Amino acid sequence: MEAKKIGCYICTGCGIGEALNVAALEKVSSKEQKIPVTRTHPFLCGTEGIALIRQDMANEGVNALLIAACSHRVKTDEFQFDTPLLDRVDLRDKVLWVQEVAGDKTAKEDLQMAAADYLRMGSVKLKKMNAPDPFQDDGFSKDVLVVGGGVAGLTAAREVAATGYRAILVEKSGVLGGMVARMHKVSPTTAPYRVLEENPVAGLVAAVEGESRITVHRNATIEKTQGAPGLFDVTINSGGTVTTQRVGSIILTTGYNLYDPAKLDKKLGHGVSADVVTSLEFEEMAKAGKIVRKSDGQPAKRVLFALCAGQRDKNHLEYCSAACCTYSLKHALYLLEQDAEASAYVLFQEMRTPGQMEEFYRRVQEEGGVIIKGDVEKVEKASGGGLNVSITDKLLRGQEGLAVDLLVLATGMISSVDTVDPNNPSPVGQVAEEAAKYVLNLDYRQGRSMPELKWGFPDSHFICFPYETRRTGIYAAGPARRPMGIAESMTDATGAALKAIQVVESVTRGAAVHPRSGDLSYPSFRREGCTQCKRCTEECPFGAINEDDKGNPLFNPTRCRRCGTCMGACPQKIISFANYSVDMIGSMLKEVEVPPADDEKPRILVFACVNDAMPALDMVGQQRGRLSPYIRIIPLRCMGSMNLVWIADAMSSGFDGILLMGCRHGDDYQCHNVRGSALAETRLSKVSETLDRLQLESDRVKMVEVNIMDADQLPKVINDFAAQIASLDPNPYKEF
């Protein structure tokens, strides 16, 4: 690789030239930092400025660029060059726009000092930065494994194949189609949203079986999943025959289990009579052709469909299964289509027919379906067959009795992925051995299961990035991911197919997937320095690092999301990226010129998460908010990458205080790497030891949660901290 030659380009536009002594900055670059090419330009992002940089790259051999202008978040199109070695020094948004430009001599001095420090930090950063060498492997596979052969799985396999990739479909039973195969028809998915549609399973099975790019394994389970995206080795036990297949990514479409009706409250009557059935049993009856009283085979004329059976209930499933209202309306229609004179009662708590399904709700009422808001209170066998059901009728406001032939309980969906309902450790009909509880049996140091977000469902960012799980390259879809109906499952499976294809295309290029999509760097470590403390393997939010027998980390670069949590965790400072390292950040902060205590210019180091805190700081600038001139901001990939050694380094370098700005953690975390900011907080709780050792007050270091929209509050947060630091004695280490 050719030698690094840095060019430093200082923009004097947007008021920078007027507010700062640019010549002095040039000197910092060329003389102090020994940057071989240092230039200024009045409008660097304009055509002429860009041309200037390109010329130097072409003629001067400049191959690493330090662009001292505005925030790294703006003018990104313009400042795009054919080199991975580029850093932006933000003189405008985070210096000029947040400090007094037209102030007195002291203010001017502070402004200049800040600009110079940022230039120094940028120079060091670029010096420490190396071009990432994308991870490659000869054995990459782009095939997609689909686990679960229900509607979602069949759809996923079909869509993967339709895009030109090979799919392997693994189904634990002998037949494809899953739950939906047991159903009669499906609710309307298309305009005018009034007509029941044919069950899609037959069509999907035919499509999958007729597709040469899809291999189907029936009666098959996954005994083990090893490896990483692009390099998964999956051991499939297919009816006793065990094979290992290499695949690039995995889609989990194992569907749902129904909540065990035996666990329902007694008052719902399950078990009182054969005429109390679950909605799935009712589906099967409709599919078989005749809706009858189970107890005696007499035609069912009056049926009560009770919604939310064991759902939205803290003693059972706390959540709503999303699809049951529409399912139950469909069931009412089955009955009314069989016999227009029949009585179909839909007993609801909240009728949830979102979107165009409202029209289906109307249709069922039009056909004579009767809606009742209330709860089942008691179920008894009636003397002449059928049931007497007592209900609380919230609209008639009283207790009412209904004589019905069948009571159909809409029981809820439980994720089938590893974790089971907390209230219901063994799912319906499954008394499984330990291994069977895990769908994939991941050979991951952090365990065999898929980490769950809530209530057993395995995604990680269900608003903005709903497909992301904490196991890179493994995407859940359909009700395995969250409760959903059939049409939505098919859409969901298609989306998961996209993600599965996207991850193989990315990792085979050596690129990261969300949230640092396209990042070509990945962590490496210096084996000889490792003390086998296992912090990196335990803390990685994505379980990317395995261990060997001795406890040494085994990195899986294609599982890695490049957050740097491992780097932050490592007490030995031996984990680094080509363009991001403990040494790099440590060197940056040491480059800040700390004035002597007598100057009464404290220095506060701010570590800011690049995802939320940095944009928020930019907005402070846009709003021309005022920040203490004593802060020096270093962006971090994620708070998870914060290494405690930097705290010690900063303190021993004479910083008076350190403010860490990470994302919200806890249940409603906003950390894009799920646990980064939480881990940083935990690490920081131990920092007082460090400070004690240095005989410093522990409140010199503070971590705050920053939301991207906190621009209005940030000045107060920062300035209050600065004031608090100013009230302490100067850091005694300044003098050393």
Partner 1 sequence: MADDQAAGQTILVVGGGISGLTTAVEAAEVGYSVLLVEREPHLGGRVAQHYQYFPKLCSPSCGLEINYQRIKNNPRIRVLTLAEVEDIQGTDGQYTVRIRQHPRFVSDRCTACGECAKACTVEVADPFNFGQGRAKAIRASHPMAFPNHYFMESAYAGSAEAQTLVALCPVGAIDPGMTATVLEEQVGSVVWATGWQPYDAEKIQPYGFGRHANVSTNMRFERLANVFGPTGGRLTRPSDGKEVKRIAFIQCAGSRDHNHLPYCSRVCCLASMKQATYVREQFPDAQVTVYYIDLRAMDRYEGFQKQVEADPGITWIKSKPARIDEDPRSGDPIVIGENTLTGVRYADAYDMVVLATGMEPNSATTARVPAKGVAYDEYGFVVKGGQVLSTGCTATPLDVAGAVQASTAVALKAIQAATRRG
Partner 2 sequence: MAYDLSFARDVYKHSEMGHWIKMCKQCGVCAGSCPFGPHWEYSPRQLFQMVRGGKKEEVLKSHSMWMCTSCYNCIVRCPRGLPITHIVHGLARYASVKGYADPDQVTNRFATRIFWTNIVSTGRVGEAMLTMRLYFVDGLAAGIKQGLEMKDSALGMLMAKRLNPIPFRGKIKGFAGFEAMLAKARELEEKREAGA
Nearer to partner 1, 70 or 300 (CB): 70
Nearer to partner 1, 302 or 482 (CB): 482
| Burial (CB count <10 Å: 0-12, 13-18, 19+), residue 313 | middle
Q: Closest approach of Cβ 430 to partner 1, in Å?
A: 23
DSSP annotation string for 554-579: EE-TTT-----HHHHH-TT--EEBTT
Nearer to partner 1, 275 or 492 (CB): 492
Strands 370-381 and 343-348: parallel
Nearer to partner 2, 373 or 448 (CB): 373
Interaction partner, residue 368 (partner 1, partner 2, none; CB < 5-8 Å by kind): partner 2
Which tokens go with 450? 């898929």
Residue 231 CA to its chain's centroid (Å): 22
Interaction partner, residue 13 (partner 2, partner 1, none; CB < 5-8 Å by kind): partner 1
Nearer to partner 2, 369 or 715 (CB): 369
Interaction partner, residue 582 (partner 2, partner 1, none; CB < 5-8 Å by kind): none
**Residues whose CB falls within 8 Å of the CB of residue 206, separated by 6 or more in sequence, listed in order:** none
**Residues whose CB falls within 8 Å of the CB of residue 568, separated by 6 or more in sequence, listed in order:** 639, 640, 641, 642, 643, 679, 680, 683
Q: Could you say which residues in the range 161-200 bind partner 1, by CB under 8 A? A: 162-165, 190-193
What is the spatial order of strands in the sheet that 370-381 belongs to? Answer: 276-278, 406-411, 302-309, 343-348, 370-381, 387-393, 398-404
Interaction partner, residue 98 (partner 2, partner 1, none; CB < 5-8 Å by kind): none
Question: Which residue carries 């996209």 as its tokens?
Answer: 498
Q: Closest approach of Cβ 349 to partner 2, in Å?
A: 13
Binding test (CB under 8 A) with partner 1, winner from 378, 462, 534, 690? 462
Binding test (CB under 8 A) with partner 1, winner from 276, 309, 513, 633? 513
Interaction partner, residue 396 (partner 2, partner 1, none; CB < 5-8 Å by kind): partner 2
Q: Enumerate binding residues for partner 2 (CB under 8 A).
A: 343, 345, 351, 361-362, 365-366, 368, 370-373, 388, 393, 395-396, 400-403
Q: Closest approach of Cβ 295 to partner 2, in Å?
A: 18
Q: Does 465 bind partner 1 (CB under 8 A)?
A: yes
- The DSSP bridge partners found for residue 375 are 392
Q: Does 651 bind partner 1 (CB under 8 A)?
A: no
Question: Which residue carries 């205590």 as its tokens?
Answer: 597
What SS3 state is found at 734? helix
Q: Closest approach of Cβ 622 to partner 1, in Å?
A: 5
Q: Does 279 bind partner 1 (CB under 8 A)?
A: no
Binding test (CB under 8 A) with partner 1, winner from 127, 270, 363, 482? 482
- The DSSP bridge partners found for residue 235 are 224, 244
- Listed ranges 418-426, 553-561, 575-583, 666-674: which one lies at the site for partner 1 (CB under 8 A): 666-674
Return the H-helix or E-strand segment holding 725: helix 714-727
Site string for partner 1, 598-637 (x = CB under 8 A): -------------xx--x---x--xx--------------
Please tell me the distance from the alpha carbon of residue 306 to that of residue 503, in angstroms, as a whole number: 43
- Cα separation of the two ends of the chain: 39
Binding test (CB under 8 A) with partner 1, winner from 108, 197, 246, 455? 455
Return the H-helix or E-strand segment holding 494: helix 486-508
- The DSSP bridge partners found for residue 420 are none
Nearer to partner 1, 501 or 639 (CB): 501
Q: Could you say which residues in the range 352-411 bind partner 1, by CB under 8 A? A: 352-359, 394-395, 397
